[in-house]
Structure formats: structure tokens, C-alpha cells
Amino acid sequence: MRIAVITFPGSNCDHDCYRALKLLDGVEPEFRWHRDTDLGGVDAVLLPGGFSYGDYLRAGAIARFSPIMEAVKAFALDGGPVVGICNGFQVLCESGLLPGALLRNESLRFQSYPVHIRVETTATPFTSHYRKGQVLRIPIAHGEGNYHAPPEVLAELEGDDRIVFRYCTPDAGLAPEANPNGSAHHIAGIVNEARNVLGMMPHPERAVEELLGSTDGLGLFQSLVNHLSAGATP
């Protein structure tokens, strides 16, 4: 199966994503440049982290209008699986594929360290390999990851089981000090209504080998591969 990794000017996790995908049997990652207009018939799309277009204006605001995003939008609306990590999450929110926005961290500091996140739902193409309630240790690295949405949107996300990951303590608790950026409801990742578009701030591609200190991110990519090989055509 072929999975596209999109590179915007300023993306800096594209090669990490490529490498993480390479670790999985049967996956052929391919780079797509922001100026491309065609995804080339891939089975899934990954929007990597970084600082697309220098984060000018707002993180993700300009990337959203790049030529490739038209194709990504059409792919997503057609049911194709799309994962946005960190800056990719910001791009997905700006493009309207996911609700809400990512504000500056409450601490005002760029936070870069491993956090614990709790798997809130396994009913997505990206988390079926995990257990509900499982705690993962995955790094974050962002200055604007403070998830915000109007109360009615938060209620909808809660009610429809669309919160995929929440920041938590190592033993799965939701203490305020486990929330690294001030996100509403401890949100670290959400899916869209159709559940085929995931946005998350933590970096699963940085937790795929023992050498990196954790392999907890592998399950996300493995889930996606399982989903695609189960014949659920995008």
C-alpha cells in the first residue's frame, strides 16, 4: 500500500514520518510536494509536523491554501484516511477538515518532551491496534498545541466518541499537571465526524524504535496498515 507524506516548505518531520512508515511491512511511503496537485492514487495521507510557511500569520493558515491541500481535502471528503501530526493537525483545523483551533500553549513555552496520552477510542482506522484506556508514552514538541473549540463543539466531540487521545498521568489520570499546553478537556487528538481524519499534537513517528525511548507510536501506523489491508478502500 502507498502512503503519501506531504512536504510543505518548513515541514521538518516529513522524513521521520517516511522512516516510521518504512518500518512496516508492505508500506511504500512517497513524498508529495506542496505544489503537487495530485496525490497519485495513494491509499492514505500523512501531514507531518514542522513550521509550514514559517507559521506566518497563524500556524497552518497558509499551508491550507497550498495546491496539494485541494487534493488532500477531496481525498478526505471521499473517505480516505488522513493523519495530521502537530503542524499537520494545525493545518487540518485551519482547513476546516477538523473543528476547533490550536492556540499558543498556556505556559507560553515551547514544550518538547515525552508525555503520556490515553487512548480514548479504538473505533478509528488509526487506533484499532491499541486498547481503550491504554497509556502511551509519546513525545510532544510544539508551542501552539492548546486545543480550543466552542463548548457545543467540545460536547459534540465528547458525545460522538471523537476524542482519540487525552493527555494523562503515567497511570491514566487526568491531573491538570499532565496537560502540557492547556488543551480543553485534555485533548491531544481528535477525529472528524466520518472518523477518517485524525489530528494529534504528539509525534507517534518519534516513538517507533527502542533507540528512541518508546515504540508506543508504532501501533498508530500499524492500525492504519491493518485498516487499509482489510480492504476498506478509501
- For other proteins, the binding residues (CB under 8 A) are 57-58, 61-62, 65, 93-94, 99-101, 103-108, 146, 148-150, 182
Active site residue 205: yes
Measured from the CB of residue 105, what is the shortest distance to other proteins in angstroms? 7
**Residue in this structure with the C-alpha cell 506542496, named with its chain if needed:** 34
Q: Which is nearer to other proteins, 38 or 106 (CB)?
A: 106
Q: Which is nearer to other proteins, 93 or 138 (CB)?
A: 93
Active site residue 86: yes
Q: What is d(CA 85, CA 204) in angstroms, rounded to the nearest whole number?
A: 8
Measured from the CB of residue 108, what is the shortest distance to other proteins in angstroms? 5
Active site residue 203: yes
Measured from the CB of residue 146, what is the shortest distance to other proteins in angstroms? 8
Q: Which of 13, 86, 93, 168 is catalytic?
A: 86
Q: Which of 94, 120, 144, 205 is catalytic?
A: 205
Q: Which is nearer to other proteins, 54 or 150 (CB)?
A: 150
Closest CA to 104 of 55, 150, 139: 55
Q: Which is nearer to other proteins, 20 or 149 (CB)?
A: 149
Grid coordinates belonging to 198: 485524525
Measured from the CB of residue 229, what is the shortest distance to other proteins in angstroms? 36
* 71-to-34, 42, 85 alpha-carbon distances in Å: 10, 11, 18
Measured from the CB of residue 104, what is the shortest distance to other proteins in angstroms? 5
Q: Which is nearer to other proteins, 94 or 216 (CB)?
A: 94
**Residue in this structure with the C-alpha cell 512496516, named with its chain if needed:** 24
Q: Kindly list the catalytic residues.
A: 86, 203, 205
